[in-house]
Protein backbone atom coordinates (compact mmCIF):
# COMPACT_ATOMS: atom_id res chain seq x y z
CA UNK A 1 0.00 0.00 0.00
CA UNK A 2 1.21 3.48 -0.88
CA UNK A 3 -0.28 6.46 0.93
CA UNK A 4 0.06 10.05 -0.31
CA UNK A 5 -0.96 13.26 1.46
CA UNK A 6 -1.52 16.54 -0.39
CA UNK A 7 -1.37 19.88 1.42
CA UNK A 8 -3.17 22.77 -0.21
CA UNK A 9 -5.39 25.73 0.47
CA UNK A 10 -9.18 25.80 0.22
CA UNK A 11 -10.03 26.49 -3.44
CA UNK A 12 -6.61 25.40 -4.73
CA UNK A 13 -7.91 22.03 -5.90
CA UNK A 14 -6.01 19.62 -3.65
CA UNK A 15 -9.08 17.38 -3.33
CA UNK A 16 -9.65 17.30 -7.11
CA UNK A 17 -5.94 16.60 -7.60
CA UNK A 18 -6.22 13.49 -5.43
CA UNK A 19 -9.22 12.18 -7.37
CA UNK A 20 -7.44 12.79 -10.70
CA UNK A 21 -4.31 11.07 -9.44
CA UNK A 22 -6.32 8.08 -8.17
CA UNK A 23 -8.08 7.83 -11.53
CA UNK A 24 -4.72 7.71 -13.37
CA UNK A 25 -3.39 5.03 -11.03
CA UNK A 26 -6.65 3.08 -11.45
CA UNK A 27 -6.27 3.20 -15.25
CA UNK A 28 -2.79 1.82 -14.67
CA UNK A 29 -4.29 -1.19 -12.88
CA UNK A 30 -4.14 -0.16 -9.21
CA UNK A 31 -6.80 -0.30 -6.53
CA UNK A 32 -7.35 3.30 -5.48
CA UNK A 33 -9.02 5.48 -2.89
CA UNK A 34 -8.99 9.29 -2.76
CA UNK A 35 -10.57 11.46 -0.09
CA UNK A 36 -10.36 14.94 1.37
CA UNK A 37 -10.02 15.66 5.06
CA UNK A 38 -13.06 17.83 5.36
CA UNK A 39 -13.22 20.69 7.72
CA UNK A 40 -15.66 23.50 7.17
CA UNK A 41 -12.84 25.40 5.57
CA UNK A 42 -13.06 28.68 3.76
CA UNK A 43 -11.08 29.71 0.70
CA UNK A 44 -7.39 30.00 1.45
CA UNK A 45 -7.42 27.96 4.67
CA UNK A 46 -4.98 25.01 4.84
CA UNK A 47 -6.56 21.71 3.71
CA UNK A 48 -5.35 18.16 3.26
CA UNK A 49 -6.42 15.38 0.95
CA UNK A 50 -5.27 11.82 0.51
CA UNK A 51 -4.68 8.99 -1.95
CA UNK A 52 -4.26 5.28 -1.19
CA UNK A 53 -2.92 2.92 -3.88
CA UNK A 54 -2.50 -0.82 -3.73
CA UNK A 55 -2.32 -3.96 -5.84
CA UNK A 56 -5.08 -5.64 -3.80
CA UNK A 57 -8.49 -4.16 -2.84
CA UNK A 58 -8.26 -1.33 -0.29
CA UNK A 59 -10.42 -1.86 2.78
CA UNK A 60 -9.04 0.65 5.31
CA UNK A 61 -11.51 3.54 5.49
CA UNK A 62 -9.90 6.04 7.81
CA UNK A 63 -7.54 8.99 7.62
CA UNK A 64 -3.87 8.66 6.70
CA UNK A 65 -1.44 9.45 9.53
CA UNK A 66 1.88 8.04 8.22
CA UNK A 67 2.06 8.84 4.49
CA UNK A 68 4.80 7.48 2.24
CA UNK A 69 4.76 10.70 0.24
CA UNK A 70 3.73 14.29 0.87
CA UNK A 71 2.98 16.88 -1.83
CA UNK A 72 2.85 20.55 -0.81
CA UNK A 73 1.00 22.81 -3.27
CA UNK A 74 2.53 25.98 -1.93
CA UNK A 75 5.57 26.48 0.29
CA UNK A 76 3.88 29.11 2.46
CA UNK A 77 1.66 26.36 3.88
CA UNK A 78 4.74 25.25 5.80
CA UNK A 79 4.64 28.49 7.85
CA UNK A 80 1.56 27.29 9.70
CA UNK A 81 1.17 23.55 9.02
CA UNK A 82 3.61 20.75 9.89
CA UNK A 83 3.67 19.24 6.42
CA UNK A 84 6.30 16.68 7.45
CA UNK A 85 4.15 15.14 10.21
CA UNK A 86 4.18 11.35 10.13
CA UNK A 87 6.14 10.87 6.87
CA UNK A 88 7.37 7.27 6.83
CA UNK A 89 11.13 6.68 7.11
CA UNK A 90 12.56 6.79 3.59
CA UNK A 91 9.51 8.65 2.29
CA UNK A 92 9.42 11.83 0.22
CA UNK A 93 8.41 15.48 0.55
CA UNK A 94 7.77 17.46 -2.65
CA UNK A 95 7.29 21.20 -2.42
CA UNK A 96 6.13 23.80 -4.91
CA UNK A 97 8.73 26.57 -4.46
CA UNK A 98 11.29 28.58 -6.39
CA UNK A 99 13.98 27.48 -3.93
CA UNK A 100 16.50 24.69 -4.22
CA UNK A 101 16.40 21.61 -2.00
CA UNK A 102 19.48 22.78 -0.07
CA UNK A 103 18.02 26.23 0.47
CA UNK A 104 14.68 24.97 1.75
CA UNK A 105 16.33 22.38 4.00
CA UNK A 106 18.42 25.10 5.61
CA UNK A 107 15.67 27.72 5.86
CA UNK A 108 13.10 25.38 7.36
CA UNK A 109 15.42 23.10 9.29
CA UNK A 110 14.18 19.96 7.53
CA UNK A 111 16.30 17.06 8.74
CA UNK A 112 13.91 14.07 8.88
CA UNK A 113 14.43 10.67 7.28
CA UNK A 114 12.76 11.56 3.99
CA UNK A 115 13.94 12.78 0.62
CA UNK A 116 13.05 16.32 -0.43
CA UNK A 117 12.20 17.48 -3.96
CA UNK A 118 11.38 20.99 -5.10
CA UNK A 119 9.73 22.21 -8.28
CA UNK A 120 8.55 25.65 -9.40
CA UNK A 121 5.01 24.65 -10.32
CA UNK A 122 3.79 28.23 -9.89
CA UNK A 123 6.09 29.46 -12.68
CA UNK A 124 5.00 26.61 -14.96
CA UNK A 125 1.31 27.31 -14.27
CA UNK A 126 1.71 31.06 -14.89
CA UNK A 127 3.60 30.48 -18.13
CA UNK A 128 0.85 28.17 -19.34
CA UNK A 129 -1.85 30.69 -18.39
CA UNK A 130 -3.42 28.53 -15.68
CA UNK A 131 -5.21 30.87 -13.30
CA UNK A 132 -3.74 34.34 -12.89
CA UNK A 133 -0.32 35.64 -11.84
CA UNK A 134 -1.63 36.45 -8.37
CA UNK A 135 -3.69 33.27 -8.10
CA UNK A 136 -2.17 30.56 -10.31
CA UNK A 137 -3.73 27.09 -10.47
CA UNK A 138 -0.95 24.70 -9.54
CA UNK A 139 -2.78 21.49 -8.65
CA UNK A 140 -2.46 19.89 -12.10
CA UNK A 141 1.22 20.85 -12.34
CA UNK A 142 1.93 19.27 -8.96
CA UNK A 143 0.31 16.02 -10.15
CA UNK A 144 3.16 15.54 -12.62
CA UNK A 145 5.63 16.06 -9.78
CA UNK A 146 3.74 13.48 -7.70
CA UNK A 147 3.89 10.95 -10.53
CA UNK A 148 7.64 11.46 -10.95
CA UNK A 149 8.56 11.35 -7.26
CA UNK A 150 6.27 8.52 -6.16
CA UNK A 151 6.51 6.50 -9.38
CA UNK A 152 2.93 5.31 -8.87
CA UNK A 153 1.18 6.65 -11.98
CA UNK A 154 2.01 6.64 -15.66
CA UNK A 155 2.49 10.20 -16.97
CA UNK A 156 0.52 9.54 -20.18
CA UNK A 157 -2.48 8.20 -18.23
CA UNK A 158 -2.15 11.08 -15.80
CA UNK A 159 -2.17 13.66 -18.61
CA UNK A 160 -5.25 11.96 -20.04
CA UNK A 161 -7.06 12.14 -16.67
CA UNK A 162 -5.99 15.77 -16.13
CA UNK A 163 -7.31 16.76 -19.55
CA UNK A 164 -10.62 14.95 -18.95
CA UNK A 165 -11.14 16.59 -15.56
CA UNK A 166 -10.01 20.15 -16.25
CA UNK A 167 -13.01 22.50 -16.41
CA UNK A 168 -11.08 24.64 -18.95
CA UNK A 169 -7.76 24.56 -20.87
CA UNK A 170 -7.46 20.75 -20.80
CA UNK A 171 -4.28 20.63 -22.94
CA UNK A 172 -2.51 23.33 -20.93
CA UNK A 173 -3.30 21.53 -17.67
CA UNK A 174 -1.99 18.25 -19.05
CA UNK A 175 1.10 20.08 -20.31
CA UNK A 176 1.67 21.50 -16.80
CA UNK A 177 1.73 17.98 -15.38
CA UNK A 178 4.20 16.91 -18.06
CA UNK A 179 6.53 19.85 -17.43
CA UNK A 180 6.88 19.20 -13.69
CA UNK A 181 7.27 15.50 -14.38
CA UNK A 182 10.20 16.31 -16.62
CA UNK A 183 11.63 19.01 -14.36
CA UNK A 184 12.29 16.64 -11.46
CA UNK A 185 15.11 14.11 -11.40
CA UNK A 186 14.76 11.27 -8.94
Q: Give the binding site for another protein (CB under 8 A).
A: 15, 18-19, 22-23, 26, 31-36, 38, 40, 58-63, 65
> Is residue 104 helix, strand or coil?
helix
**Shortest separation between residue 47's beta carbon and another protein, angstroms:** 12
| HSE-up (13 A, CA, CB side) for residue 115 | 10
Q: 169-179 burial, b for 16+ CB within 10 Å, e for fewer?
A: bbebbbbbbbb
The residue among 43 and 133 lying less far from another protein, judged by its C-beta, is 43
Nearer to another protein, 15 or 73 (CB): 15
Minimal distance, residue 106 CB to another protein, in Å: 35
Q: Using alpha carbons, list the distances in angstroms from residue 139 to 5, 114, 128, 144, 180.
A: 13, 22, 13, 9, 11
Residue number, 41 or 127, with CB nearest to another protein = 41
31 vs 84, beta carbon nearer another protein: 31
Smallest separation, CB 182 to another protein (Å): 26
* CA-wise closest residue to 130 among 102, 153, 100, 163: 163
CB of 40 to another protein, least distance (A): 7
Q: 16 vs 6, 79, 105, 146, 168, CA distance in Å?
A: 11, 24, 29, 14, 14
CB of residue 41 to another protein, shortest distance in Å: 11
CA dihedral (86, 92, 96, 100) positive or negative: positive
Nearest to another protein of 60, 102 (CB atom): 60
DSSP characters over 8-19: EETTS-HHHHHH
Amino acid sequence: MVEIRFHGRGGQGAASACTIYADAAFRGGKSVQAFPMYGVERRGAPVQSFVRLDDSPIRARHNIYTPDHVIVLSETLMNTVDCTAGIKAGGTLTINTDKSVEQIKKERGLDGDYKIFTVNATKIAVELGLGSVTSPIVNTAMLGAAARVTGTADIKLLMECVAESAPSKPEKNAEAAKETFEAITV
